[in-house]
Chains A and B, each alone.
Chain A
């Protein structure tokens, strides 16, 4: 068969890579906005590639609003939203969603709770009706709460065996202590065990309110029509801004290295970082560029070092988690047990390097900026992507032209800017390292990394 095949005689020019041509820009689509009497905002974006509509209801209250001693309340409340409404049981609510072919999801973070439903556009009205039933009129029955809480307790039990989840939870606690960001949304065994359905009802009444809610609809839909449907569906929702998160307690300084023992673990799960910048920082764009170069892409300094040069990991990355209050900077990687100390030393060296003795080069800067800007259009291909982008505007009070401004603002970042903002927002002397790994195998080596011996935190105490 191959013998009959012909090969093109003229060979392509492979002496150099073809330079990319300029690509058309994709303006971020217009957001049409309305505000209902209740204060709930309704934002729509027309996106008609496929006959789908994505609805997202953002409430600017999340796990950071958990009252003292009730860690996990916001999350369990979010989990109770789809557990029945009016006469309908949890199962019946989900059967109704399934008849629409809907994708339904709730998502909880520190600063927000989001319920989203995506459907074929012909089911828009019914989808909005169901969404409002769940958000505004959840049944919040004691019997359902008992079951949901029990499942969450089982989940917590299982998380004890997941190195990544252990590392995340230990890291947050060490970084933030009693601050509203110091616990993961799921809470703890003790706080969940003490919680009651009355706590959930009170939290729902005080935190899930129209004055802090934005409904975003993206797809094959008309603004006026969506506003009319939303006014009908959410017409009886009322209440002012209600409960808010506290501004945050001062954060503690944790030991340099903490080990969560996992005997015989073949890898060590690492988190390295400290409390850093809020979403509102004027240094946002420069930090995004800095992070791209340091650990935000495949060819970042950290990934090339730990994966491509040393073969210690499947992948390593860094991120600034920008939130309403100062969020964490974190490096994360899962590394071979016998390379744990090397990986930590190299990681801290890279963080120190970019803010000090090894500032970004012109090539690195150009690559980082190009990676962030040239393919920017692909971030807005689907209705769901556009909706998530619009949600950022609603959550962080960003201006409507934020996405138009993103590319020029990133392009304006200089190497000096990167040095300045990394020096300001990264501090090697404050870095906290969490290792979930085999203490017997790595303890001695870790002791050589810091002045004090590593602290040890039992998995059961997290």
Chain B
């Protein structure tokens, strides 16, 4: 299963990926900048994401809202920021491709002359509201802050969340915005993918026409950092919740590294869906939890796996912790059954197909091409990505679980109802989160 594409590099360094799919008269434009919250520093967090907001506020030659002309052309558009990259996308009717390239290139080449203090102050307020809505005013919403801070040391760029610290957001100044733009938003740090109803040659000429004039900028040095847990870090905090919840987290391999696919399948097999071992035991049979989930969160320079379970009324986080580690130990010792391995393989195949149904948007073929290109310099990685999952064996999965989901080196976070600190897992220290 591969998708056909061509890759070109403009003279200024912009990498261009082109994929033709004429089934639907639309084109996905997907532009990645290789910058995320990993490029921030302590005291200046939340910046990459705040900056993403500013990219929708107009540029020198169209100093008005970014949405109006594109929505008027029938486009849908958005952007997103994570620890490792920021992406911007439009899905446009075939005839509006040139408009989208004009708009994207203008904000890559000519953002700063249009970036005023008033826009900046407004979008900072919007982001503070986004933070309140999605983290502070949401039950268990501050869990990511506590987990990342405990997993990664203070100076590690995964120590903080992409939304950033409130104090940092309130302190940031406009001149930082300018410096950030100059350092990260240029052709040498970007990759653009066009997928859909285009002629690859014509599309490349249009990209050249609009992006070719932009100054390349300086190459961005890769971010390096290391992390290691030496013991079981046990923390807790109180929140406006009804039921106590246990989070377990471990440092694991980075995206595409050895062990990543094993842990991806292992976390599914442990706690995703009704067939998973922990759902069956905790929720279905013993009924000591109301829900359980798990994930391998692989990022560019490190990963972490996480298991989350909420205690049913009348049951304790200690019961959950004991049961979860029994199941982890059993999986590590015996590996998965043949049926579990076979299910994992066919699910991986189906998931790949589901992901490739659309040309773009959040996900879709254009975004996947960019992911492989930016992280691996290899947009043809589809087959090998699937093969990573198809070649997992019972032995390799069991070994990865034994090695990485180690009870002696982990973070154990309890979030308990206000005033009920005693419901936390034993020996937990108070975590300060905000």
A residues sitting closer than 8 Å to B (CB atoms) are 1-2, 5-12, 14-15, 17-26, 49-52, 82, 90-91, 94-95, 98-103, 118-120, 147, 150-151, 154-155, 157-158, 160-163, 265-267, 269, 297-299, 304, 307-309, 311-314, 334-336, 366-367, 370-371, 373-378, 380-384
Q: Tell which of A101, A304, A377, A383 touches B350, judged by Cβ atoms closer than 8 Å.
A: A101
Q: How far is the CA of A383 from the CA of B358 in the complex (A)?
A: 10
Per-residue CB proximity of B351-363 to A under 8 Å, as 1/0? 1011011110000
Q: How far is the CA of A314 from the CA of B12 in the complex (A)?
A: 36
> Does B274 count as interface, using CB distance less than 8 angstroms?
yes
B139 touches A161 (CB 8 A): yes
Closest to B56 in A: A298
Q: Tell which of A1, A18, A91 touches B218, judged by Cβ atoms closer than 8 Å.
A: A1
B95 touches A99 (CB 8 A): no
Q: How far is the CB of B304 from chain A (nearest CB, A)?
A: 25
Given contacts A99-B343, A158-B242, contact A12 B76 (CB under 8 A): no
Q: Tell which of B95, B138, B218, B354 touches A22, judged by Cβ atoms closer than 8 Å.
A: B95
A154 touches B212 (CB 8 A): no
A12 touches B213 (CB 8 A): yes
> Does B105 count as interface, using CB distance less than 8 angstroms?
yes
B74 touches A375 (CB 8 A): yes
- Among A8, A11, A15, A336, max chain B CB count under 10 A is at A8
Per-residue CB proximity of B383-423 to A under 8 Å, as 1/0? 00000000000000000000000000000000000000000
> Does B280 count as interface, using CB distance less than 8 angstroms?
yes
B243 touches A157 (CB 8 A): yes
Given contacts A95-B343, A370-B74, contact A336 B25 (CB under 8 A): no
Q: How far is the CB of B199 from chain A (nearest CB, A)?
A: 13
Q: Tell which of A91, A103, A378, A384 touches B24, judged by Cβ atoms closer than 8 Å.
A: A378
> Does B6 count as interface, using CB distance less than 8 angstroms?
no
What are 29 A-to-B residue pairs whose CB atoms are below 8 Å? A2-B13, A2-B216, A5-B187, A7-B215, A14-B106, A19-B99, A20-B95, A20-B98, A21-B98, A24-B25, A50-B356, A99-B343, A103-B354, A147-B284, A154-B243, A266-B137, A299-B68, A312-B125, A313-B129, A313-B133, A366-B72, A367-B72, A374-B73, A375-B74, A375-B91, A375-B92, A377-B25, A378-B76, A382-B357
* Chain B positions 38-76 with a Cβ under 8 Å from a chain A Cβ: 60-62, 65, 67-69, 71-76
Closest to A89 in B: B284
> Does B303 count as interface, using CB distance less than 8 angstroms?
no
Return the 3 tightest CB-CB contacts between A and B, nearest first.
A374-B74, A311-B125, A101-B350
Q: Tell which of B212, B290, B343 touches A8, judged by Cβ atoms closer than 8 Å.
A: B212
Closest to B242 in A: A157
Q: Tell which of A24, A51, A119, A367 touches B94, judged by Cβ atoms closer than 8 Å.
A: A24
Specify which chain B residues have a CB less than 8 angstroms from the CB of A12 in the assembled complex: 102, 105, 209-210, 213
Q: How far is the CA of A33 from the CA of B26 in the complex (A)?
A: 28
A154 touches B313 (CB 8 A): yes
Q: How far is the CB of B375 from chain A (nearest CB, A)?
A: 20
A158 touches B74 (CB 8 A): no
A14 touches B102 (CB 8 A): yes
Specify which chain B residues have a CB less than 8 angstroms from the CB of A7 in the assembled complex: 11-12, 212-216
- Among B26, B103, B208, B214, max chain A CB count under 10 A is at B26
B129 touches A335 (CB 8 A): yes
Q: How far is the CB of A320 from chain B (nearest CB, A)?
A: 19
Given contacts A8-B213, A22-B95, A367-B68, contact A151 B357 (CB under 8 A): no
Closest to B98 in A: A18
Specify which chain B residues have a CB less than 8 angstroms from the CB of A154 in the assembled complex: 243, 290, 312-313
A155 touches B350 (CB 8 A): no
Specify which chain B residues have a CB less than 8 angstroms from the CB of A91 in the assembled complex: 274-275, 280, 284
Q: How far is the CB of B81 from chain A (nearest CB, A)?
A: 14
Closest to A376 in B: B74
> Does B96 count as interface, using CB distance less than 8 angstroms?
yes
Per-residue CB proximity of B370-390 to A under 8 Å, as 1/0? 000000000000000000000
Specify which chain A residues have a CB less than 8 angstroms from the CB of B213 in the assembled complex: 7-12
A162 touches B133 (CB 8 A): no
Closest to B187 in A: A5
Q: How far is the CB of B419 from chain A (nearest CB, A)?
A: 13
Q: Tell which of B23, B133, B214 touches A334, judged by Cβ atoms closer than 8 Å.
A: B133
Q: How far is the CA of A157 from the CA of B314 in the complex (A)?
A: 14
Q: How far is the CA of A1 from the CA of B186 in the complex (A)?
A: 13
Closest to B273 in A: A94
Per-residue CB proximity of B129-160 to A under 8 Å, as 1/0? 11011101111000000000000000000000
Specify which chain A residues have a CB less than 8 angstroms from the CB of B187 in the assembled complex: 5
Specify which chain A residues have a CB less than 8 angstroms from the CB of B273 in the assembled complex: 94, 98
Q: How far is the CB of B183 from chain A (nearest CB, A)?
A: 12
Q: How far is the CB of B92 from chain A (nearest CB, A)?
A: 7
B357 touches A374 (CB 8 A): no
Q: Tell which of B73, B129, B313 touches A267, judged by Cβ atoms closer than 8 Å.
A: B129
Q: How far is the CA of A354 from the CA of B76 in the complex (A)?
A: 24
Per-residue CB proximity of B69-101 to A under 8 Å, as 1/0? 101111110000000000000011111101100
Q: How far is the CB of A386 from chain B (nearest CB, A)?
A: 11
Beyond A14-B60, A374-B73, list 11 extra A-B contacts (CB 8 Å): A23-B93, A23-B95, A49-B357, A91-B274, A98-B343, A154-B312, A297-B71, A299-B67, A314-B126, A336-B125, A374-B93
B346 touches A101 (CB 8 A): yes
A336 touches B354 (CB 8 A): no
Given contacts A266-B132, A298-B67, A314-B133, contact A98 B219 (CB under 8 A): no
B95 touches A378 (CB 8 A): no
B96 touches A20 (CB 8 A): yes
Q: How far is the CB of B416 from chain A (nearest CB, A)?
A: 13
Q: How far is the CA of A336 from the CA of B30 in the complex (A)?
A: 33
- Among A18, A24, A155, max chain B CB count under 10 A is at A18
Q: How far is the CA of A98 from the CA of B241 in the complex (A)?
A: 33
Specify which chain A residues have a CB less than 8 angstroms from the CB of B138 in the assembled complex: 162
Q: Tell which of B71, B103, B127, B343 touches A299, judged by Cβ atoms closer than 8 Å.
A: B71
- Among B62, B127, B133, B197, max chain A CB count under 10 A is at B133
A375 touches B75 (CB 8 A): yes
Q: How far is the CA of A12 from the CA of B103 in the complex (A)?
A: 12
A308 touches B350 (CB 8 A): no
Q: How far is the CA of A19 from the CA of B93 in the complex (A)?
A: 12
Q: How far is the CA of A37 from the CA of B133 in the complex (A)?
A: 51
A381 touches B216 (CB 8 A): no
Q: How far is the CB of B179 from chain A (nearest CB, A)?
A: 17
Closest to A9 in B: B213
Q: Tell which of A50, A162, A311 touches B353, judged by Cβ atoms closer than 8 Å.
A: A50
Q: Tell which of A5, A101, A157, A158 touches B216, judged by Cβ atoms closer than 8 Å.
A: A5
> Does B258 count as interface, using CB distance less than 8 angstroms?
no
> Does B427 count as interface, using CB distance less than 8 angstroms?
no
Given contacts A98-B275, A99-B342, contact A267 B137 (CB under 8 A): yes
Specify which chain A residues have a CB less than 8 angstroms from the CB of B99 in the assembled complex: 17-20
Q: How far is the CA of A155 from the CA of B273 in the complex (A)?
A: 17
A311 touches B129 (CB 8 A): yes
